[in-house]
């Protein structure tokens, strides 16, 4: 493989959890950044990330991390992005790129745009890849390989900055899409947020059963429940923030889902064999298409 | 490894799909049966199973398959078990075991018990293991390894027959549990049937979006949706039969789930951060316990 020059010279990661440490590992492993410095409010975590070899340098303060950075990526829960940007932007050099990996985009754009400083390019991003784990121990360099990364640049964003951000994510192995924050939030509400909401709910329903039933449920989880429990093991703060910050789109999709569930409930109650078989046949096709999209 | 003598001399499989072919492959590979003969109403499928080396013999008729069998395992959709048993039982030798792998047990017991012949021991079973695929091409010998198989022997069942059936499933690598059909159906309603119902629903909700949205959903499926789409790719006839035959338990669990979903919907609508974080923290524990139960 021919080694390309790094896309970014100095990269700063703010929040070195699952995603932050994966971005850092991938950037270093694939040579997308020449040097990666990180900062985290949790000093222990930052020290662990350094000891694990996930980053080149641990900064003593957020300002130290961003001062000389060519690109700063905020990797904290979406509710924290506004406050982090408010602190980071004034310390960044003119012409540098501020980005993030948040799972909601309308709220992040609304929180960050007003606190930007002249000359800093804000290019929001969301890598659609992840696991149910959190923390820097669980990050890995290949997380974004073959996955999609969605950029939602504000109107009038600097095209060179958008291109650089896209080149960075491509260097990590991702495919890149560009869309509006609103469109992002609608699509992600159904592909990611609603599945998590439902998983949290059904696992909660099980936890409400009498204690002696729990173990039985866990024993027989291979019957389907385990697929749901994986999502429901995801980070509570991250997901609290997602639902608080994409409320309208999530409630809209939840409304459609609930209607459809009621129709199916009725079909079961009345023993409507044809209706059940027809729906179950139709959904098979979706699985096939996801496999074709190589996202299975 | 010391080779044990086969648990069963002659095993007959009725319905050589995903589960039937996996039982056959496992029984032959682990030496749990000396010889496996199969019958399927679909002659092509039966010929394919033979060509694939999944079975020793393909029987020309159901009666041929079961006449000399020491154990007969019905591996068709649960709605077909009664009719299959009605045809098989009179042709079986006294003292032989009739079993099944159906995903519901109360209905199978109710359908099969009345058509049994004197001297045939009916020991219903449900291996809690599977995939979203169907057909003999997709069966494999290790499917039951480390998974649970639940036996629901009718009251007064011959204990030697129960023990033999348990020994057979242990020889395929399974752990064995014994319980009543009613208890089985309640537990499986939440661990397997409700997760499938929800998966079918949400994938259906997506299929109802405008056409141009579908592909986007499939592209970004790695955000969580793919976990649901897997279950919704499962066999339509098999699952139609499950819901028709475990209606009450499924509706009961669906009722609880719907209530919980409404509570969460309210928490999102009112921005109740604490409630969301509390639930999401509680469900993490379930994931940990499933990993401990080695069913993740
Ligand atoms: N997990 C996924 O599957 C996934 C996928 C795509 C995108 N995302 C997005 O990626 C972001 C991070 O998620 P994650 O899964 O990596 O979570 P994580 O493993 O919990 O990491 C989040 C990190 O951010 C730190 N942090 C919180 N507030 C901060 C602040 N004000 N300044 C600096 N650091 C702060 C946290 O430290 P403390 O614990 O000390 O607060 C933690 O180290 C979220 O916006 C999420 O929506 C996640
Ligand atoms: N898939 C799972 O994950 C799973 C797990 C545990 C238990 N189970 C149970 O296992 C059983 C089989 O499921 P599967 O996944 O193996 O489905 P499958 O791959 O579709 O196989 C079912 C087979 O039964 C045949 N069949 C249908 N009616 C029949 C009849 N009257 N006589 C003989 N054969 C008949 C079918 O042939 P035709 O196509 O010609 O009808 C087909 O070959 C079901 O009771 C299911 O509840 C499934």
Longest dimension (CA), chain A: 67
Q: Per the CB < 8 Å rule, is B195 touching A187?
A: no
Classify residue B91 by its DSSP letter.
Answer: G
Q: How far is the C-alpha of A110 from the C-alpha of A113, rounded, in Å?
A: 6
CATH of domain A8-179: 3.40.50.720
- Write out pLDDT tens, residues B161-206: 999 999 999 999 999 999 999 999 999 999 999 999 999 999 999 9
Question: Residue B263: what pLDDT?
Answer: 96
Q: How far is CA B11 from each of CA A166, A189, B18, B250, rounded to the nearest angstrom?
A: 60, 50, 17, 33
Mean pLDDT of all residues in A230-241: 95
pLDDT category, B294, cuts 50, 70, 90?
Answer: confident
Residue B2 binned pLDDT confidence (cut-offs 50, 70, 90): low
Please report residues of B whose CB lies closer than 8 A to that of A205: 190, 253, 256-257, 260
Residue A237 alpha carbon, nearest atom of ligand 1: 20
Q: What is the pLDDT of residues B229-244, one digit of tens each?
A: 899 999 999 999 999 9
pLDDT above 60 (res A265): yes
DSSP state of B5: P
- State the pLDDT at residue B287: 84
B162, B178 contact by CB (below 8 A): yes
Beta-carbon count within 10 A of B61 CB = 11
Residue B45 has pLDDT above 90, yes or no: yes
Q: Residue range B149-171: average pLDDT?
A: 97
Predicted pLDDT of residue B38:
98
Strand partners for A128: A148
Indicate which atom in ligand 1 lies nearest the CA of residue A136. 19
% residues pLDDT > 70 (chain B): 99
| Mean local confidence (pLDDT), A136-150 | 97
Name the pLDDT band for A294 (thresholds 50, 70, 90). confident
Where along chain B do its domains lie?
Answer: 8-179, 183-292
Across the interface, do A221 and B295 touch by the CB < 8 Å criterion?
Answer: yes
CA–CA distances in Å: residue A259 to residues A263, A265, B163, B247, B283: 6, 10, 47, 19, 25
The percentage of chain A sitting over the pLDDT mark of 90, rounded to a whole number, equals 85
Is there an atom of ligand 2 within 6 Å of B154 CB? no
pLDDT of residue B3: 67
Q: How far is CA B84 from CA B39, B52, B73, B74, in A?
A: 11, 25, 10, 8
Q: In ligand 2, which atom is closest to the CA atom of B128? A: 6
**CA angle, corner B204, sides to B203 and B210, nearest 5?**
100
The maximal CA–CA distance of chain B, rounded, in angstroms, is 67
Reference A138, options A32, A243, A45, A12; nearest CA is: A45
Mean pLDDT, chain B, integer: 95
pLDDT at A2 over 60: no
Per CATH, domain A183-292 is 1.10.3660.10: yes
Beta-strand relationship, B57-58 and B71-74 = unpaired
Least confident of A175-184, A222-231, B54-63: A222-231
Residue nearest to atom 34 of ligand 2 (CA): B15
pLDDT reading at A211 higher than 60 = yes
Note which residues in 144-163 of chain B have CB less than 8 A from chain A: 147-148, 150
Ranges B2-11, B61-70, B76-85, B144-153: which has the least confidence: B2-11
Nearest to B282 by CA among A221, A225, A208, A196: A208
Nearest Cα residue to atom 4 of ligand 1:
A130
* Number of the ligand closest to the Cα of A244: 1
Q: Given CB atoms, is B1 within the 8 Å cutoff of chain A?
A: no
> Mind telling me how many Å the CA of B125 is from chain A's nearest CA?
14
pLDDT of residue A142: 98
A100, A96, A116, A97: which is closest to A108 by C-alpha? A100
The closest residue, in CA terms, to atom 28 on ligand 2 is B76
pLDDT tens across A44-67, in order?
999 999 999 999 999 999 999 999
Average pLDDT over residues A9-25: 98
Q: Do A221 and B250 touch (CB under 8 A)?
A: no
Residue the block writes with tokens 């829960």 = A77
Which value does ipTM take for this structure? 0.93
DSSP secondary structure, A218-249, as one string: HHTGGGTHHHHHHHTTS-HHHHHHHHHHSHHH
Selected for mutation to probe chain A from B202, B235, B267, B282 (highest A CB count within 10 Å) is B202
Instruction: Kindly give, in sequence order, each residue whose CB lies less than 8 Å from that of residue B29, ignoring residues fewer than 6 positions away.
Output: B141
Give CA A73 to chain center in angstroms.
13
Please tell me which of the candidates B196, B219, B264 has its beta carbon nearest to residue A293: B219
- One DSSP character per residue, A12-45 reads EEES-SHHHHHHHHHHHHTTSEEEEEEE-S-HHH
Whether B227 and chain A come into contact, CB under 8 Å, resolves to: yes
Beta-ladder partners of B57: B37
Residue nearest to atom 42 of ligand 1 (CA): A17
Mean pLDDT of the residues in chain A:
95
């Amino acid at each position: 493989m021919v080694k390309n020059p790094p896309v970014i010279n100095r990269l700063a990661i703010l929040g070195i959890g699952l995603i932050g440490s994966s971005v850092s590992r991938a950037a270093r492993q694939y040579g997308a950044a020449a040097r990666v410095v990180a900062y985290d409010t949790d000093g222990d975590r930052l020290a662990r990330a350094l000891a694990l070899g996930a980053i080149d340098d641990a900064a003593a303060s957020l300002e130290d991390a961003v001062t000389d950075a060519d690109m700063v990526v905020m990797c904290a829960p979406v509710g924290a992005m506004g406050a982090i940007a408010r602190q980071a932007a004034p310390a960044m050099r003119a012409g540098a790129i501020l980005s993030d990996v948040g799972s909601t985009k309308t709220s992040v754009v609304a929180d960050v745009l007003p606190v930007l400083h002249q000359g800093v390019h804000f290019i929001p991003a969301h890598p659609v890849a992840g696991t149910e784990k959190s923390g820097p121990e669980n990050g890995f360099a290949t997380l974004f390989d073959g996955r999609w990364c969605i950029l939602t640049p504000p109107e009038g964003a600097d095209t060179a900055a958008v291109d650089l951000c896209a080149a960075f994510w491509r260097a990590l192995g991702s495919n890149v899409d560009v869309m509006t924050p609103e469109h992002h939030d609608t699509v992600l509400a159904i592909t990611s947020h609603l599945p998590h909401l439902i998983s949290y709910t059904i696992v909660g329903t099980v936890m409400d059963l009498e204690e002696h039933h729990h173990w039985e449920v866990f024993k027989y989880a291979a019957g389907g429940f385990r697929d749901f429990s994986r999502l429901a093991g995801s980070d509570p703060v991250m997901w609290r923030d997602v639902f608080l910050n994409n409320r309208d789109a999530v409630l809209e999709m939840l409304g459609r889902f609930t209607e459809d569930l009621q129709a199916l409930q009725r079909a079961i109650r009345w023993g409507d064999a044809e209706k059940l078989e027809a729906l179950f046949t139709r959904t098979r096709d979706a699985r096939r298409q996801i496999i074709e999209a190589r996202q299975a």
